[in-house]
Amino acid sequence: MALKKKPVTGMKDMMPREMEIRDYVVQLIKDTYKTYGFLSMETPCVEHIENLCSKQGGDNEKLIFKILKRGEKLKIEAAKGEDDLVDGGLRYDLTVPLARYYSNHANELPSPFKALQIGNVWRADRPQKGRFRQFMQCDIDILGEPSNLAEIELILATTAMLGRLDFQNFTVCINDRNILKAMAAYSGFKEEDYDGVFIILDKMDKIGAEGVASELQEMGYDRENVDAYLKLFEETAPNAEGIRYLKEKLGDCLQAETADGMEMIISSVEEAKDCEFKICFDPTLVRGQSYYTGTIFEVRMDDFGGSVAGGGRYDKMIGKFTGQDTPACGFSIGFERIVMLLLENGYQVPKQGGRKAYLLDKRMPREGILKVLALAKADREAGRQVLIVNMKKNKKFQKEQLMEEGYEEITDCYADSWESI
């Protein structure tokens, strides 16, 4: 059987240029989030299949890379179904493993616990440009904080990080699942149909208001109900005024506490933000994950035409492990999209101490090599990045390549003049 050079479908090899940016972004994320008090933690990439299939991951549960039982536990001939063959899977996100982690270690962790996770996840999705089956996620979560302080800190920390990468023209869109439910209730939709209604609403950008109306009518709702529902979105401004309008319009369908909390989050972020961006109330924002229970938000890049981060409150997930609900809220960065944008825009990692290269004559004696090694050691101690390589025949082309890689100083080291280096 012939060996294959290309990576497995849906996976990719990463070149040094991309890795330089990825490493820099990871470190920037860690440094930024730690200034907000977030603590690094990690979970295994393999998770119990029961946890991954607990109806908390939405469509992601259809995309699990499942792992067969091993050794004596694997009894293929006696198996009646998949459950008899599988006991684990690769995690499809970092949130479900975090809930298990917290339920197992809550007594050893501070309260509230501000978690920082950076790790790969896997989904057996159809590969396409910019989307792979293995990709990195960067999550921050605050567990044990029921107040709006959690949402405010998550938004401020995430936007501060994006600002440090020189991103501009981005918008934080925010909504609340309880506002979505209140609008549906006011319009006469049945509670058991809410999820279906929200799935259709989530297509608003793609199919427009008429498309949404048509699909809602296909669910069996009268045009009168549908028109009342869509009119709410037409009349709601994307700011605090829109929230106040819904608070008055929806009456008993919407708790005043929910509307007031949303207004507080927006005004607090506006006052305390660390970089320039817009924050708006978007009543059409749904977020696909079924575990969200309250506030939801995402970051949209005007220049990118899509979201690069998203999250929300999921107060019911940890309780499925412990039997007792725990307030929880998180924000996940689309790490791969951010790296892709940086690469496409020719982003240059800030240089620290500069880069220097020594080109060695292949005839260089031992004494000359030792001198170059000593010089390189001194350069590194001074904070420089140093490369020592043998001189090639086409030295001009070699130097051009090194300069493209960011080496500002290149020293030729010849065998017959090493003492003067």
One-character DSSP codes across 88-152: EEE-S-SHHHHHHHHHHHGGGS-SSEEEEEEEEEE--PPPBTTB-SEEEEEEEEEES--STHHHH
Residue 271 and residue 410 in one domain: no
Residue 313 and residue 363 in one domain: no
- Judge whether 144 lies within some domain: yes
Structure tokens given for 82: 């998949």
Cα distance between residue 331 and residue 308, in whole Å: 11
Residue 50 and residue 124 in one domain: yes
Residue 334 and residue 360 in one domain: no
Number of compact structural domains in the chain? 2
The pLDDT of residue 421: 84
- Judge whether 368 lies within some domain: yes
Nearest to 263 by CA among 162, 181, 152, 143: 152
Specify the pairing of strand 306-313 against strand 328-333: antiparallel
- Judge whether 8 lies within some domain: no
Exposure letters 151-179 (e unless 16+ CB within 10 A, then b): bbbbbbbbbbbbbebebeebbbbbbbbbb
The pLDDT of residue 44: 97
Exposure letters 67-99 (e unless 16+ CB within 10 A, then b): eebeeeeeeeeeeeeeeebbbbbbbbbbbbbbb
Residue 386 and residue 295 in one domain: no
Residue 282 and residue 393 in one domain: no
Residue 35 and residue 152 in one domain: yes
Cα distance between residue 52 and residue 371, in whole Å: 57
Residue entry with tokens 């439910």: 181
- Judge whether 219 lies within some domain: no
Integer Rg of the chain from CA: 27
- Judge whether 27 lies within some domain: yes
Cα–Cα separations (whole angstroms), residue 1 to 9, 25, 55, 64: 18, 40, 41, 28
Q: What is the pLDDT of residues 201-222, one digit of tens each?
A: 988 888 988 888 888 898 888 8
Nearest to 368 by CA among 322, 416, 336, 326: 416
- Judge whether 141 lies within some domain: yes
Residue 391 and residue 322 in one domain: no
Cα distance between residue 275 and residue 269, in whole Å: 11
CATH number of the domain at 392, please.
3.40.50
Collect the ranges in the chain with pLDDT lower than 70: none
List phi, psi (to 5°) of 373: -60, -40
Burial of 274 per CB tally in 10 Å (0-12, 13-18, 19+): middle
Residue 312 and residue 336 in one domain: yes
**Residues sharing a CB contact under 8 Å with residue 39, sequence separation 6 or more, in sequence order:** 110, 113, 114, 115, 116
- Judge whether 222 lies within some domain: no
- Which H or E run includes 297? strand 295-301
Cα distance between residue 173 and residue 282, in whole Å: 6
Residue 171 and residue 294 in one domain: yes
Residue 261 and residue 311 in one domain: yes
The pLDDT of residue 59: 79
For the chain, counts of helices (H) and of strands (E):
14, 14
Q: Which of 344, 376, 403 is the last residue of a domain?
A: 344
The pLDDT of residue 388: 93
Residue span of the structural domain in which 412 resides = 355-420
CATH number of the domain at 34, please.
3.30.930.10
The pLDDT of residue 196: 87
- Judge whether 259 lies within some domain: yes
Q: Which of 344, 371, 400 is the last residue of a domain?
A: 344
Residue 340 and residue 268 in one domain: yes
Q: What is the pLDDT of residues 97-141, one digit of tens each?
A: 999 999 999 999 999 999 999 999 999 998 877 789 999 999 999
Structure tokens given for 296: 């939801």
Specify the pairing of strand 113-122 against strand 39-40: parallel
Q: Which of 319, 344, 369 is the last residue of a domain?
A: 344
Question: What length is written for the chain?
Answer: 421
